[in-house]
């Protein structure tokens, strides 16, 4: 008899764990997905009117430095080369982002070389800031007030709904600052977009005789009793019916508009000014430059605090959230038969490649532990 595994959620975490366990031949796996499609917030679908591949929950550009993760995703579909090159609209004009030598020279009206620019920017930094604790500290210390206020302050207040002095420095550390003309948004070794979109990729990961998929089906903690082990990839607090309170998330809304030709000449343009209510506009046909479309579909992206009915996107992780997270993580470690994995269940700001990497690592650990599922860990990575 195969052991029965339930997996709640069909994003990358759920899909990778399902596949890895299915391939051992020891388990029969039910994947439960409450939405009407696979792939969670990575979901892509062709627009019925224009045929353009849309990232329904916002732009997803795959990037990783882990060779095993890059090899893994390519097992399930062809990736087209794609480099994310973002532009930023500021009060002083349109610039290249991340901040690079072109940004610095154009913003300050200079023609510096890399060494001169590095010295110049170091001179802008606020030396009175010690070890940066907050987003604001990090920006002021390494970039100075002018770059901070033009590129980061307004955008960050819109995106997170709080003062940047309340946010961790790690959020800004996601973005490189370069003293050369490299305008690649990411620092990773590998980057691309799946030719047929993320949902096709994830449905191939899940296409295995030992895996059954149940769309439009919410999975509850009660149902886990019928299984030898459950993997929960939804919000950690929802597993416990929010009994200690709610972890805060930011949610997004999208305002769609359509036109002909090329609306903005780039896939993503950020709007850094606080007076403009949206954070960015994405023009999705530019995510598939290998396709030809006359029409174009764009989305203005707005951020808000997630209410109970909203889709959670970004864990806010303010001080109160982190205290609550610790309490939920302690509860999770006392929960029998359940493993929490992925971005929502570990309440961390993880990109796709990080979720896949952690899910592969977790699966390898499970396989090494063998089919005594009671010995399996409670978390892919315990959050803090």
- Give the residue numbers annotated as catalytic, written as ranges: 174, 178, 250, 280, 301, 349, 351
Contact of 55 with 82, CB cutoff 8 Å:
no
In the bound state with ligand UDP, the residue whose beta carbon lies nearer, of 244 and 318, is 318
Chain centre distance of CA 37:
18
Contact of 288 with 193, CB cutoff 8 Å:
yes
What lies within 8 Å, CB to CB, of 71 at 6+ separation is: none
In the bound state with ligand UDP, the residue whose beta carbon lies nearer, of 231 and 383, is 383
In the bound state with ligand UDP, the residue whose beta carbon lies nearer, of 169 and 366, is 169
Question: Alpha-carbon distance 165 to 129, whole Å?
Answer: 12
Min dist CB 62 to ligand UDP, Å, is 13
In the bound state with ligand UDP, the residue whose beta carbon lies nearer, of 4 and 157, is 157
Question: Alpha-carbon distance 341 to 205, whole Å?
Answer: 17
Other C-beta atoms lying within 10 Å of the C-beta of residue 223 = 15
Chain centre distance of CA 253:
16
Q: Which residues bind ligand UDP (CB under 6 A)?
A: 88, 97, 151-152, 155-156, 159, 171-172, 174-175, 270, 272
In the bound state with ligand UDP, the residue whose beta carbon lies nearer, of 174 and 256, is 174
Could you say which DSSP state residue 57 is in? T
Min dist CB 311 to ligand UDP, Å, is 14
For residue 72, report the phi and psi dihedrals to the nearest 5 degrees: -60, -50
In the bound state with ligand UDP, the residue whose beta carbon lies nearer, of 60 and 285, is 60
Question: Alpha-carbon distance 361 to 354, whole Å?
Answer: 10
Min dist CB 315 to ligand UDP, Å, is 11
Min dist CB 186 to ligand UDP, Å, is 9
Count helices and strands (H / E) in the chain: 13, 17
**Phi-psi map region of 380: left, alpha, beta (phi>0 left; psi -120 to 50 alpha):** alpha
CA distances from 93 to 117, 269, 298, 344 (A): 20, 12, 21, 36
Residue 39, classed as helix, strand or coil, is coil
Contact of 2 with 26, CB cutoff 8 Å:
yes
Residue 240, classed as helix, strand or coil, is coil
Cα–Cα nearest to 340, from 348, 332, 351, 349? 332
Question: Alpha-carbon distance 2 to 139, whole Å?
Answer: 54
Min dist CB 83 to ligand UDP, Å, is 14
In the bound state with ligand UDP, the residue whose beta carbon lies nearer, of 135 and 328, is 135
In the bound state with ligand UDP, the residue whose beta carbon lies nearer, of 138 and 238, is 138
Question: Alpha-carbon distance 384 to 382, whole Å?
Answer: 7
Min dist CB 93 to ligand UDP, Å, is 14
Residue with tokens 């009060």: 91
């Amino acid at each position: 008899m195969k052991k029965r595994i339930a997996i709640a959620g069909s994003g990358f975490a759920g899909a990778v764990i399902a596949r890895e366990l299915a391939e051992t031949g020891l388990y029969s796996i039910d994947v439960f997905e409450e939405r009407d499609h696979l792939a969670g917030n990575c979901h892509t679908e062709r627009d019925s009117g224009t045929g353009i591949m849309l990232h329904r929950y916002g732009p997803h550009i795959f990037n990783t430095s882990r060779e095993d993760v890059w090899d893994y995703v390519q097992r399930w579909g062809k990736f087209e080369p794609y480099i994310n090159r973002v532009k930023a609209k500021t009060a002083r004009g349109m610039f290249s982002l991340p901040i690079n030598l072109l940004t610095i020279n154009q913003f300050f009206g200079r023609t510096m070389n890399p060494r001169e620019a590095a010295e110049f920017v170091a001179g802008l930094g606020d030396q009175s800031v010690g070890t940066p604790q907050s987003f604001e500290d990090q920006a002021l210390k390494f970039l100075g007030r002018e770059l901070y206020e033009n590129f980061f302050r307004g955008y960050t207040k819109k995106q997170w709904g709080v003062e940047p002095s309340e946010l961790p420095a790690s959020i800004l550390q996601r973005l490189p600052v370069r003293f050369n003309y490299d305008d690649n948004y990411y620092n990773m070794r590998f980057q691309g977009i799946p030719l047929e979109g993320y949902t096709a990729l994830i449905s191939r990961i899940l296409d295995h005789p030992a895996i059954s998929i149940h769309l439009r089906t919410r999975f509850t903690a009660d149902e886990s009793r019928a299984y030898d082990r459950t993997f929960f990839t939804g919000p950690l607090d929802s597993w416990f019916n929010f009994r200690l309170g709610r972890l805060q998330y930011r949610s997004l809304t999208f305002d769609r508009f359509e036109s002909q030709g090329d609306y903005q000449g780039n896939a993503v343009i950020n709007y850094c000014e606080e007076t403009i209510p949206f954070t960015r506009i994405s023009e999705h046909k530019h995510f598939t430059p290998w396709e030809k479309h006359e029409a174009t579909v764009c989305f203005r992206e707005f951020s808000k605090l997630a209410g109970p009915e909203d889709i959670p996107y970004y864990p806010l992780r303010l001080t109160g959230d982190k205290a609550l997270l610790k309490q939920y993580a302690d509860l999770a470690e006392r929960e029998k038969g359940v493993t929490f994995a992925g971005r929502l269940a570990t309440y961390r700001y993880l990109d796709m490649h990080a979720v896949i990497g952690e899910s592969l690592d977790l699966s390898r650990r499970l396989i090494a532990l063998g089919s005594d599922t009671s010995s399996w860990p409670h978390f892919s990575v315990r959050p803090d």
